[in-house]
Structure 1
Amino acid sequence: MSEWWTYTLSDFLLFSPRTYYRLFELHNGSLWPAHLAALAAGVAILALAARGGPARGRIVAALLAACWAWVAWSFLYTRYATINWAATWFAGLFLVQAVLLVVVGTLGGKLDLAAGRPWRLGLFFFALAVQPLAGVLAGRDWAQVEVFAMTPDPTAVGTLGIAALASGPWRWGLMVIPVLWCMASGATLWTMEAPDALVPPAAALAALVIAVRRNREHDALADLR
């Protein structure tokens, strides 16, 4: 019996890269044209977050919660779990994230977004419009791209882009599960030697940096008052 330290990440991979990418192709093909509704939700989130304020933050949180719940059921539980038993647990975490967004953001009104600086929404824009192209540049077919509100990676990155800009300590709680997913997804892609393996972890790191800077700015404004 081999010693445990001789194992690598590839030894724990339960599927081939071809099977993994085929999963997205089947997912996209079966749910089209739901992607148009997902795009509309993403554009609405972008517009509301750019204007900022607690009232719009409640709507943004509700839309994000719907996205997380939909991805949990339609992709993680229904599809990904057929090739990866851990996907069922991740589906549960995605539902927890949806509940957190509703409780903290929609009901609690804690997702107070700063208005007047739409350029700060670059990470969300990346998840909505650029991240799908990153997959194509990495060698995927167009039918296999990952889309915001339809698949986990861009949904997690987009949520991080929103939560990082919120004020108050609740932002950190809303970032835990998305960061965990980005790390897990990055590890999976890295094991498959995918060219875009560093995209999810790098996006998570960028969100943490943005959140820290936002926290410092908030503290500086509080000191001036």
Structure 2
Amino acid sequence: MPEWWTYSAEDFLLFSPRTYWRLIERHNEALWPAHVLLLLLGAAILLWLIRPRPWSHRVIAGTLTVLWVWVAWGFLWERYATINWAASYVAPLFALQAVLMALIGSRLRWSLSWAGRAPVGLALFFYALALHPLAAFLSGRSLREAEVFGITPDPTAIATIGLVMMADGRWSWLLLAVPMAWCLASWATLHSMGAPEQWVLLGAMLVALVPVARRRTARPASAEHP
């Protein structure tokens, strides 16, 4: 029996890279042309961040709620679980994220400012919306295997982290837990497959730690100075 240190990350992968990207391709084929509508929806969210309306805060939170439910069922439960048994256990976490978004997100103020962590959040959101779909082409794969915001989990999680970093309000940091967990899990999968997108997932998770860490360090200060 081989010793544990002789195993590599690839030995724990339940499927081949080709199987995974073929799954993405089939998912895209089934949903096209919804991709165009979701990219336009992402652009609308960006516009609402730049020029908020009295109703735009709830619309952004409601949109993210629906998208997390959709990705949980449409991708994780219906497709990804066919090649990865763990996906059926992750789908309820995505549903939990939708519940948290509905309860907390609707109370937040979603707007863009050029101070604090907001510019980093904007960069993450823009990447997830406009650049992440091009990662397939840049990696030598077909654009039919591109991952799109609201269609697949990776860009949806990255975009959510970016948006939460631009939101103001109590308990907003709770909306980062599930996206961070997914980014870490997806990084491990992509790392096993040698996909270059892995580093973006890891970077997004590390960036999401900033508001959580600041909240933890701010607690003692607020206790000392009531």
TM-score (norm 2): 0.85
Structure 2 alignment gaps of length 5 or more:
218-226
Structure 1 alignment gaps of length 5 or more:
217-225
Alignment of 1:132-171 (within 5 A): 132-171=133-172
What is the deviation of 1:74?
0.9
Q: Which residue of 2 aligns with 1:30?
A: 30
Q: Which residue of 1 aligns with 2:93?
A: 93
What is the deviation of 1:40?
2.4
Q: Which residue of 2 aligns with 1:112?
A: 109
State the secondary structure of the residue aligned to 2:109: coil
**Residue 80 of structure 2 is aligned to residue 83 of structure 1:** no
Contact map agreement 1:164 1:211 (CA 8 A) in 2? no
Question: After the TM superposition, which of the residue ranges 33-42 and 12-21 deviates more from structure 2?
Answer: 33-42
Q: Which residue of 2 aligns with 1:123?
A: 124
Q: Which residue of 1 aligns with 2:199?
A: 198
Contact map agreement 2:125 2:163 (CA 8 A) in 1? yes
Change (3 A) 1:100 1:17: same
Q: Which residue of 2 aligns with 1:19?
A: 19
Change (3 A) 1:211 1:42: farther
Change (3 A) 1:157 1:210: same
Contact map agreement 2:105 2:172 (CA 8 A) in 1? no
Contact map agreement 2:187 2:202 (CA 8 A) in 1? yes
State the secondary structure of the residue aligned to 1:147: coil
Percent identity over the alignment? 51
What amino acid is aligned across from residue 131 of structure 2 in structure 1?
A: V
What is the deviation of 1:31?
1.0
What is the deviation of 1:158?
0.2
What is the deviation of 1:84?
0.1
CA RMSD in angstroms comes to 2.5
What amino acid is aligned across from residue 128 of structure 2 in structure 1?
A: A
Q: Which residue of 2 aligns with 1:179?
A: 180
Cα distance in 1 for partners of 2:25, 2:75 equals 12
What amino acid is aligned across from residue 36 of structure 1 in structure 2?
A: V
TM-score (norm 1): 0.86
Change (3 A) 1:144 1:82: same
Cα distance in 1 for partners of 2:180, 2:53 equals 25
Cα distance in 1 for partners of 2:171, 2:211 equals 15
What amino acid is aligned across from residue 149 of structure 1 in structure 2?
A: G
What is the deviation of 1:139?
1.8
What is the deviation of 1:53?
7.1
How many matched pairs?
214
Q: In the TM superposition, what whole-angstrom CA distance separates every residue of 1:162-215 from its partner, at most 9, and x where no partner exists?
A: 101222341211001001111111110111111222111112223444776899
